[in-house]
Amino acid sequence: MHKFAPRDRKVKILATLGPASRDPEMLERLFRAGADAFRVNMSHGEHAHHRETIAAIRALETKYSRPIAILADLQGPKLRVGTFKDGRAVIRHSGHFTLDRNPEPGDETRVQLPHPELFGLLKKGQRLLINDGKIRLKVIRADEDAILCSAEVGGVISDRKGVNVPDAEVPIPALTDKDRRDLAYAMEQGVDWIGLSFVQRPEDLAEARKLMGRKGSLCAKIEKPSAVRRLDEILEMADGLMVARGDLGVELEPFEVPPLQKQIVNKARTAGKPVIVATQMLESMIESPAPTRAEVSDVANAVYDGADAVMLSAETAAGEWPEEAVAMMDRIAAQVERDEAYLPRVRFLDTPPDRTTADALAHSCMTIADTVAIRAITVFTFSGSTARRVARERPSVPMMVLTPSLDTARRVGLLWGAHAVVTRDIGSFEEMIAKGKRMALRHGFGASGDKLIVLAGVPFGTPGSTNLLHIVTLSGNELKRHSD
């Protein structure tokens, strides 16, 4: 077992695994370079590959005695056109193009759209975006058999390219048959988070939640304008959000995405739920060992906004410089957090505590740490809710989360400032204080003479009972008394 010091930053790094990084040796290098959690993309690869990847992450977790969050990202209901006679065709600018039910291979005038739910739904003037928006069509007429469009932007179209429908809420479920199989498999493999793609409405989360049972946490990926319109309802049902800027940037104008990113981050933070900023953060590092200045600024802005986590996609999954991409993101985040303006900026968002004892105490942790020379906040929690409350306040010192639940310890791996330690439950006030001190000394959250905030609930072992805050002073003798 290797001892691993707490990260020198509070924002988390979520790295996507793939052909360039699923090897156990590279996986360990990514972890050591700064990856706090890993994303397994269920859109690609077989279940056997995912099983090996998850097993490698769990082996790494054991080696370093540090819980690691795994997010399994479901593919979702991707709309696609059919096939073409020659595998491709050219749609003429300003010309007409028809999407229909005919399964015959298409040409420059038409192609099959194998999604019956779209026929009769679309109206004149609404848009269809194909191949990530490279082709832009506007509906002239739509009926039960065909959708006649004018090509605002034409170009080359080929077999099974994706279709985005930004102006309508498409009546398709968020889970396909493949997604249900992938979700069941991910739960069987013990992943900690499920990423639900192409969420449009709060009801989309209900089926996934039911299939998950009481296991794992559910992250709603916000990548559709319809999801933005119903963000409050979706946030209420989700355990966390992801700002999935890829498809969001296809269906909206590019300049609309940055303010929306801030809006989504702020709403998730106010609710005390983790929020991940994702897609194209260090895109040039897929092929280059160095990012552009614009990409560095993009990552820095997400950190300044107070996001819980920033994500790498193809940079680590298929890029040529996966370890360098993680290390670069780590350095950017650490530099931002050293900026004197950082805390005032992340606290510019007002997150008033709810009228509960637990929220009042979490808020007090932040104000005490600003007033007194506190080294760290130790939170005893079973479900993780107390840790989320403290993280919402964005305290100036790190948070050590002590929990008897390995599942909880893993899930808080995406939570701002949280460093989880699995330890036996406590049974008394004296035991709580002694254990809080020992764990802080053992895991690098203080030295003899440092002050520590301890937050817990009485009676012990009762979820949701946070009602006790205590300030202690560490002593080097604490480590000699007991072992955990």
> Residue 85 is part of a domain; what is its CATH number?
2.40.33.10
CATH number of the domain that 454 lies in?
Answer: 3.40.1380.20
* Rounded alpha-carbon distances, angstroms, from residue 138 to 126, 154, 223: 6, 11, 21
Known catalytic membership, residue 262: no
The residue written with tokens 């790498």 in the block is: 312
Neighbour count for residue 240 (Cβ, 10 Å): 24
459 pLDDT exceeds 80? no
Is 4 domain-assigned?
A: no
Known catalytic membership, residue 39: yes
* Rounded alpha-carbon distances, angstroms, from residue 251 to 76, 280, 302, 427: 16, 16, 21, 53
Half-sphere exposure of 195 (CA within 13 A, CB side): 31
C-beta of residue 443 within 8 angstroms of C-beta of residue 372: no
Tokens of 175: 């889970």
Confidence at residue 1, expressed as pLDDT on a 0 to 100 scale: 55
C-beta of residue 60 within 8 angstroms of C-beta of residue 31: yes
Confidence at residue 358, expressed as pLDDT on a 0 to 100 scale: 87
349 pLDDT exceeds 60? yes
16, 83, 98, 279: which is the annotated catalytic residue?
279
9, 10, 22, 39: which is the annotated catalytic residue?
39
d(CA 256, CA 406): 40
Is 241 domain-assigned?
A: yes
Buried-exposed string 32-41: b where 16+ CB fall within 10 A, e elsewhere = ebbbbbbbbb
C-beta of residue 32 within 8 angstroms of C-beta of residue 15: no
Is 391 domain-assigned?
A: yes
Is 271 domain-assigned?
A: yes
Q: 460 or 286, which is more confident?
A: 286
Q: Which of 164, 194, 217 is the last residue of a domain?
A: 164
What average pLDDT score do residues 161-179 get?
Answer: 92
22, 66, 201, 221: which is the annotated catalytic residue?
221
Specify the range with the lowest mean pLDDT, choosing from 118-127, 304-313, 321-330: 118-127
> How many domains does the structure of the chain reveal?
3
DSSP state of 255: G
Based on the domain organization, do 209 and 332 belong to the same domain? yes
Torsion sign across C-alpha atoms 312, 317, 322, 327: positive
Based on the domain organization, do 275 and 185 belong to the same domain? yes
Tokens of 226: 């319809």
What average pLDDT score do residues 166-191 get?
Answer: 94
Q: Which of 32, 22, 13 is nearest to 57 (CA)?
A: 22
7, 51, 58, 80: which is the annotated catalytic residue?
80
Based on the domain organization, do 193 and 298 belong to the same domain? yes
Based on the domain organization, do 308 and 455 belong to the same domain? no
Known catalytic membership, residue 279: yes
Is 7 domain-assigned?
A: no
Confidence at residue 267, expressed as pLDDT on a 0 to 100 scale: 96
- What is the SS3 assignment for 235? helix
Mean pLDDT score across all residues of the chain:
93
The residue written with tokens 């082709």 in the block is: 135
Based on the domain organization, do 271 and 185 belong to the same domain? yes
- What is the SS3 assignment for 356? coil
How confident is the model over 23-76, as pLDDT tens digits? Answer: 999 999 999 999 999 999 999 999 999 999 999 999 999 999 999 999 999 999
CATH number of the domain that 59 lies in?
Answer: 3.20.20.60
**pLDDT confidence tier of residue 427, bands split at 50, 70 and 90:** confident
Q: Which of 262, 189, 271 is nearest to 238 (CA)?
A: 271
458 pLDDT exceeds 90? no
Q: Which of 310, 339, 368 is the last residue of a domain?
A: 339
Based on the domain organization, do 332 and 417 belong to the same domain? no
Based on the domain organization, do 43 and 99 belong to the same domain? no
What average pLDDT score do residues 385-403 get?
Answer: 95
Is 55 domain-assigned?
A: yes
Based on the domain organization, do 323 and 190 belong to the same domain? yes
Based on the domain organization, do 415 and 466 belong to the same domain? yes
Specify the range with the lowest mean pLDDT, choosing from 71-80, 282-291, 366-375, 423-432: 423-432
120 pLDDT exceeds 90? no
The residue written with tokens 């004197």 in the block is: 340
What average pLDDT score do residues 238-255 get?
Answer: 94
Based on the domain organization, do 72 and 58 belong to the same domain? yes
Is 417 domain-assigned?
A: yes
* Rounded alpha-carbon distances, angstroms, from residue 232 to 26, 236, 237, 262, 301: 39, 6, 9, 14, 23
d(CA 173, CA 76): 9
Known catalytic membership, residue 423: no
> Which domain, by its residues, includes 159?
79-164
Based on the domain organization, do 72 and 112 belong to the same domain? no
C-beta of residue 65 within 8 angstroms of C-beta of residue 1: yes
Is 349 domain-assigned?
A: no
Torsion sign across C-alpha atoms 9, 322, 246, 241: negative
Based on the domain organization, do 199 and 283 belong to the same domain? yes
Q: Which of 164, 195, 213 is the last residue of a domain?
A: 164
